[in-house]
Amino acid sequence: MKDITWHTEPNNKDEAMREIIKEVRNCNLNCYREEYKKPLKTLFNRIISVEELMNGRPLIDDWRSQDILFISQAPSKQAWVDNELSSLDNSFFTDFLLKKIYPNNNSSVAIEKWKQNVFWIHTANCYPGKGEGGDKVPNMDCAEMYFDKIIETMNPKLIILMGLSATKFFTEYRRLSDINKKSPRLKDILYLQYDKQKPFFVDSKDGTNQYETIVIPHAANLTKLSESGIFAYNLLIDSLIDGKAKKNEYEFTLKTKDIVSSSKHTWLDEIVYVLKELGGHAKNKDIFIEVEKRGMMNFTPRWKNSVIKTIGLHSSDSKSYKEGNSDRFYKIDRGHWGLRDFK
């Protein structure tokens, strides 16, 4: 990770943000230019020439003292050549999102409200070029240069990460809460958010601050959203919608998952619980009585063997101990076991 040093006095926030934007717009690294080899056609049959692509400039939102930070992958080709955040006038915004967030306003008022609240940046500020399928996935150079500067200076109330590319910078350095894998799939991130039924947090670079963060899937296919994708958009709309009149104003229905009932209660869980109940240690006979009394488990004809086997698998005092298992129990005597971390 590149070293970034950026210190901002709170009362200089507006000035500092404008400095960052200026720095982005004046960037002369000319990334991805080798990708612009032939003209490209847009969805509406507009032909974009190589010269137009070459003349594009790094694209970043204007500063209006917004308090929400929205991060997506990269500018579209038309946004790039027009040097305008096209997203502000595409159908996803005007026909869907803005209508849900500002149901009582027309499109132009809704867009203006959105612009006043949301500061929009990309993982890459330049158009990354066209790949075999869609646009190429940008590298992390821009993100590494600017994300922390912007977050630390802006101190946003909420961060919205749209699509896999936007999450990559934060998962790469384990800064998205509850995500321990280095490159998780977007699907898994969305499912975890759905499972928790609440947003994530992104840690600041120095770990002293946390920013509430919602991850949403790319909006290209709203009709094919998974349940976790629908939840993500509900969470977003719920967070952005103003005031208390927010209920029942959007179409998605939130289905609450019964997390408790889906979590599995294993023999290990049961034995640990029972040993705690029995004062941190007990003889097998007493463990059996307590387990039977609780009636939480599946009692097969040989269930007592399962208890003994499970203790052995999780005790380095046993020959059955399996390397890599948690070492939860210690042997006091034959058929007499204690719980290691009992206090």
Partner DNA sequence: GCAGAATAAGTCGGGTACAA
Partner DNA sequence: TTGTACCCGACTTATTCTGC
Residues that bind DNA (CB under 7 A): 73, 131-137, 163-165, 181, 185-187, 217-218, 224-226, 229, 264, 266-268, 283-285, 288, 298, 300-306, 308-313, 318-320, 324-325, 331, 334-335
Q: How far is the CB of 4 from DNA (least distance, A)?
A: 24
CB of 21 or CB of 124, closer to DNA: 124
Q: How far is the CB of 77 from DNA (least distance, A)?
A: 13
CB of 224 or CB of 247, closer to DNA: 224
| Spatial separation of the C-alpha atoms in residues 83 and 67, rounded to whole Å | 23
Using only C-alpha atoms, the chain has a radius of gyration, in whole angstroms, of: 27
CB of 132 or CB of 258, closer to DNA: 132
CB of 46 or CB of 185, closer to DNA: 185
List CB contacts of 40: < 8 A, sequence separation 6 or more.
Answer: 47, 48, 53, 77, 130
Q: How far is the CB of 92 from DNA (least distance, A)?
A: 14
CB of 150 or CB of 219, closer to DNA: 219
Q: How far is the CB of 323 from DNA (least distance, A)?
A: 9
Q: Kindly report the CA angle at 176 between 175 and 179, in degrees rounded to 5?
A: 110
CB of 42 or CB of 226, closer to DNA: 226
Which run of H or of E encompasses 233?
helix 227-240
Q: How far is the CB of 288 from DNA (least distance, A)?
A: 7
Q: How many other CB atoms sit within 10 Å of the CB of residue 237?
A: 18
| Spatial separation of the C-alpha atoms in residues 107 and 123, rounded to whole Å | 27
Q: How far is the CB of 215 from DNA (least distance, A)?
A: 10
| Spatial separation of the C-alpha atoms in residues 100 and 343, rounded to whole Å | 52
Q: How far is the CB of 266 from DNA (least distance, A)?
A: 4
Q: Are 270 and 296 in contact (CB under 8 A)?
A: yes
**Exposed e or buried b for every residue in 131-146, given b needs 16+ CB within 10 A?**
eeeebbebebebbbbb
Residue in the structure block whose two tokens are 């890599």: 324
Q: Phi/psi of residue 98, each to 5°?
A: -65, -30
Q: How far is the CB of 29 from DNA (least distance, A)?
A: 20
CB of 6 or CB of 273, closer to DNA: 273
Nearest to 330 by CA among 291, 266, 272: 272
Burial of 244 (0-12, 13-18, 19+ CB in 10 A): exposed
The residue type found at 13 is K
CB of 150 or CB of 166, closer to DNA: 166
